[in-house]
Structure 1
Amino acid sequence: MVPVLLSLPFLLGPAVHRETPGAGPYSLTFLYTGLSRPSRVLPRFQATAFLNDQAFFHYNSDSRKAEPLGPWRQIKGMEDWEKESQLQKAREEIFLVTLKDIMDYYKDREGSHTLQGMFSCEIQNNRSSAAFWRYAYDGQDFIEFNKEIPAWVPLHPAAWKTKQKWEAEKVYLQRAKAYLEEECPRMLRRYLNYSKAHLDRQDSPSVSVTGYSVPGRNKTLKCLASDFYPPEIGLRWIHAGKKRESESRVDVLPSGNGTYQSWVVVEIPPHDRGPHFCLVEHSGLAQSLTVPWEEKQKAGAEGNVETQPQ
Structure 2
Amino acid sequence: MSSRQHSACSELQDPGKPRTFQTATMSTMVPVLLPLLLLLGPAVSQETHTGPYSLSFLYTGLSKPAKGFPRFQAIAYLNDQAFFRYDSEGRKAEPLGPWSQVEGMEDWEKESELQKAREDIFMVTLEDIMDYYKDREGSHTFQGLFGCELRNNQSSGAFWRYAYDGRDFIEFNKEIPAWVALDPAARDTKQKWEAEEVYVQRAKAYLEEECPGMLRRYLQDGRIYLDRQDPPSVSVTSHVAPGKERTLKCLAYDFYPRRIGLHWTRASDAQETESGGDILPSGNGTYLSWVVVGVPPQDRAPYSCHVEHSSLAQPLSVLWDERQEAEVKGGLGTRAQ
* Shared fold, TM over 0.5: yes
Aligned ranges for residues 149-298 of structure 1 at < 5 Å?
149-214=176-241, 216-296=243-323
Q: Which amino acid aligns with 1:16?
A: Q
Q: CA deviation at 1:11?
A: 5.2
Deviations 1:183-221 (A, max 9, x none): 111111111111111111100000011122245532211
Partner of 2:161: 134
Q: CA deviation at 1:7?
A: 6.6
Note the residue ranges of structure 1 that are not aligned, 5 or more in a row: 297-305
Q: Does 1:55 align with 2:78?
A: no
Q: Contact 1:273–1:295 at 8 Å: present in 2 too?
A: no
Partners of 1:268 and 1:246 in 2: CA distance? 11
Q: Which amino acid aligns with 1:94?
A: I
Partners of 1:259 and 1:7 in 2: CA distance? 21
Note the residue ranges of structure 2 that are not aligned, 5 or more in a row: 1-31, 329-337
| Residue number among 39, 43, 46 corresponding to 1:16 in the alignment | 46
Q: Contact 2:273–2:291 at 8 Å: present in 1 too?
A: no
Q: Secondary structure at the match of 1:204?
A: coil
Partners of 2:194 and 2:43 in 1: CA distance? 30
Q: CA deviation at 1:109?
A: 2.8
RMSD: 2.1
Partner of 2:325: 307
Q: Contact 1:216–1:270 at 8 Å: present in 2 too?
A: no
Aligned ranges for residues 40-119 of structure 1 at < 5 Å?
40-119=67-146
Percentage of identical aligned residues: 68
Q: CA deviation at 1:249?
A: 3.3
Q: Which amino acid aligns with 2:269?
A: K
Partners of 2:68 and 2:38 in 1: CA distance? 18
Count of aligned residue pairs for this structure pair: 296
Q: CA deviation at 1:71?
A: 0.5
Between 1:245-254 and 1:258-267, the stretch displaced more is 245-254
Q: CA deviation at 1:63?
A: 1.4
Q: Contact 1:45–1:60 at 8 Å: present in 2 too?
A: yes
Partners of 1:130 and 1:168 in 2: CA distance? 26
Partner of 1:148: 175
TM-score (normalised: structure 2): 0.83
